[in-house]
Structure 1
């Protein structure tokens, strides 16, 4: 098949991280938009993107982009698309997700209905039949309209890319795997002599993602994707991309990761998740209060997703926690870098120090800031 355009969808605030990943993977003509990154590729890049992208939410094939002000225009533009190049005679093709913002066509149910009808009419021309049973591979269609511009996509991932497969049990307020990977990426920690610590690690997601980054373990190598059932992608492509990913794993580098949490049950869940992810050799876990944090190394990286106001704690408890965390960092880890994500707007005041920089992110739909304090090592690296 000829070249195609792929879309890696992204949580707001992480687009540049996903863009950098796409560039590192060798994808061409990489472009960044709000909530998505587009790039050129072939069908072989569908396995590559799904298996390797750490911070994207899903990977889509971009089927078309056009303006439509009436349902007649919508129907005609959808029907122009070569759906038969992807969807086989028995393919299941639900219009599973529609959004419309600042567009004349705003009824999601009507957009779904018109889109489905147009696709059926197109497939009738190819397969010469009036009814499609849709009992084969799944080709879920996403429609995104903004300012009357429609983007039409087919989902290649199925379950979101954050479903790595290692987290069977969730705690009270988990962080998504894709977000955890982004936090580590933004810290620029990659393993080596400097340790990484999360003193409020919960079920261990940040620790696991850090270990996978340090070891260059592809996040999707051990899971399946809906497009593995598509006839347009040879099965051997999936096998080759996975084999290549396994061959690139790095077990020579020194990796020191430490995690702790005050709750014993949570630590046991973290231990199970870490074991399932296959990175138990890289991570040391303890059940203890973050106030007991002590590290021998002069420099290192602290990354944590502590409880915050609209999540688990009231304002007074949050301010006390952040004040104590600030004291621990300054007194016991004075040369370290600290990276802390929270929705609490007065974090810097409570922590007792202004961040080197902060970045707006959305964690579970909650607007947060990622406060970055550069120590000696990161201060040099980020100049």
Structure 2
């Protein structure tokens, strides 16, 4: 099998998590801003798409070179072996971006790259007429950063956050990839109880359940590279069989999701049912001040939430009361760890104590902090 340079793209702040996932799959990697780079064959491409919970996309680097002029961009693009990737009937749109580069016109760069690829493929496929582009889709990108052009091919298609279970959502849904990241950052394991007191459409509890039963996040969806002749169906069959074998469908789970809005609870239940966790996650309408835990029986649990941030001034009194309630209610449970994601800068003061640790994350374009309050180790039960 051929070897490729594979790029797993990631939201700012999640690169280290994506890198750990890549290493867990058995591949050495290096970390850069917004991406993790590793080498692998066609099976590695399929496995990365199937298993990476916190990455946005899996791309192949076709080439990378310095380009100060349009002629340089054209010639160096044309020199790359495009016929290895794009079929004669392939559809190959080119997107682009340019940062701190002499070639700053993105539309011109896209047009030049497209033209160079067409010229290369005409020679390779002995064509004079135009390509119909009515076959498999090959999504290409030209990215210029400090005069270095990188040409990539997207193997995922729809972003990896689209797991396929979300049949409904609220006004500001958390991406599935970010929800998985929040769960992974807690080091939670399925032997411990898990609560999301602001569950909305259920994304965090569903991602926790998938992690708890080791279900591959890409198991119930398709990828654009499944249509490519050089990615045989046998590879995808093998990777899906591996995912099925590694899943632990019998793993018991103690996961609950609460929300003040009964409509969101109904949506969360439908999403959980679609994901295969209809009876395994407990969803209930409840406000945070009413959350109770029997710490004697449920020790060492984890509370993870993405509460409202109070972006509008009119919402702030309600938000501030909610954060105070959280501190009062959750502070009672010494053996439980609490993790909250918010952009509200005065969160610790309202919660009532400083976090054990804070981590900067970007929820979409919103800069947030992930406040971590680690619980005490529970006392061992007397024999």
Please tell me the TM-score bracket, short chain as reference: over 0.9
Q: 2: CA distance between counterparts of 1:209 and 1:179?
A: 10
2:269 corresponds to: 271
Q: 1: CA distance between counterparts of 2:325 and 2:199?
A: 17
Question: 1:252: how far off?
Answer: 4.1
Query: Conserved in 1, the CA contact under 8 Å of 2:288 and 2:325?
Result: no
Question: 1:137: how far off?
Answer: 0.3
1:285 corresponds to: 283
Question: 1:365: how far off?
Answer: 1.5
2:37 corresponds to: 38
- Segments of 5+ residues of structure 2 without an aligned counterpart are 379-383
- SS of 2:200's partner is coil
The worse-fitting range, judged by mean Cα deviation, of 316-325 and 233-242 is 316-325
- SS of 1:314's partner is helix
Question: 1:123: how far off?
Answer: 0.6
Question: 1:253: how far off?
Answer: 3.3
Is residue 342 of structure 1 aligned with residue 329 of structure 2? no
Question: 1:314: how far off?
Answer: 2.3
Q: 1: CA distance between counterparts of 2:264 and 2:137?
A: 37
2:304 corresponds to: 303
1:323 corresponds to: 324
1:381 corresponds to: none
2:381 corresponds to: none
Q: 2:247 aligns with which of 249, 254, 276?
A: 249
1:5 corresponds to: 5
1:119 corresponds to: 117
1:48 corresponds to: 47
Query: Conserved in 2, the CA contact under 8 Å of 1:301 and 1:337?
Result: yes
2:374 corresponds to: 374
Is residue 149 of structure 1 aligned with residue 148 of structure 2? yes
Q: 2: CA distance between counterparts of 1:110 and 1:65?
A: 18
- Segments of 5+ residues of structure 1 without an aligned counterpart are 379-383
Runs of 4+ in 1 over 6 A off after TM superposition: none
Query: Conserved in 2, the CA contact under 8 Å of 1:18 and 1:56?
Result: yes
- SS of 1:44's partner is helix
Query: Conserved in 2, the CA contact under 8 Å of 1:50 and 1:161?
Result: yes
Query: Conserved in 1, the CA contact under 8 Å of 2:157 and 2:224?
Result: yes
Question: 1:316: how far off?
Answer: 2.2
Question: 1:374: how far off?
Answer: 1.0
Is residue 364 of structure 1 aligned with residue 364 of structure 2? yes
CA offsets 1:210-232 (integer angstroms, 9 cap, x no match): 00000000000110011000000
State TM-score, norm by structure 2.
0.95
State TM-score, norm by structure 1.
0.95
1:201 corresponds to: 199
Q: 1: CA distance between counterparts of 2:292 and 2:337?
A: 15
How many residue pairs were aligned? 374
Query: Conserved in 2, the CA contact under 8 Å of 1:307 and 1:313?
Result: no
1:224 corresponds to: 222
Q: 1: CA distance between counterparts of 2:65 and 2:57?
A: 22
Q: 2: CA distance between counterparts of 1:22 and 1:126?
A: 35
- SS of 2:284's partner is strand
